[in-house]
């Protein structure tokens, strides 16, 4: 039961490493479809670094959930799920 969240966590860590290096802007939804004039308005490097931090945060939440599921089943998994929802909700607000 814990294998899939662990795999997703590894995926988010790899994505975070790509974004932190300032690469992978084509993976950001909305940014990759905007026009060149629209893209010039944004600092691509800063946007990638921010998305990298978000990916690391998602990975940390998933790792805590895996730890909670294997060691302390119950409330810890629920709390990390809530934290992931908060990150998902506040990320677009911060980017705006």
Domain extent listing, the chain: 3-95
pTM score of the predicted model:
0.74
Rounded to 5 degrees, what angle do the CA atoms 44, 10, 20 make?
Answer: 20
CB 66 within 8 A of CB 50: no
Question: What is the b/e burial string over 20-53, where b = at least 16 CB atoms within 10 angstroms of the residue's CB?
Answer: beeebbeebeebeeeeeeeeeeeeeeebbbbbbe
pLDDT of residue 86: 64
**Residues 21-36: pLDDT tens digits?**
999 988 888 888 889 9
Using 50 as the pLDDT threshold, list the residues of the chain that sit under it: none
């Amino acid at each position: 039961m814990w294998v899939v969240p662990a795999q997703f966590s590894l995926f988010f860590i790899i994505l975070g490493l790509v974004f932190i290096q300032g690469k992978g802007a084509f993976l950001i939804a909305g940014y990759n479809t905007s026009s060149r004039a629209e893209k010039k308005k944004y600092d691509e490097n800063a946007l990638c670094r921010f998305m990298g931090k978000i990916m690391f945060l998602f990975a940390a939440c998933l790792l805590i959930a895996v730890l909670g599921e294997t060691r302390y089943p119950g409330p810890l998994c629920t709390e990390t799920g809530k934290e992931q929802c908060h990150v998902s909700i506040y990320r677009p607000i911060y980017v705006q």
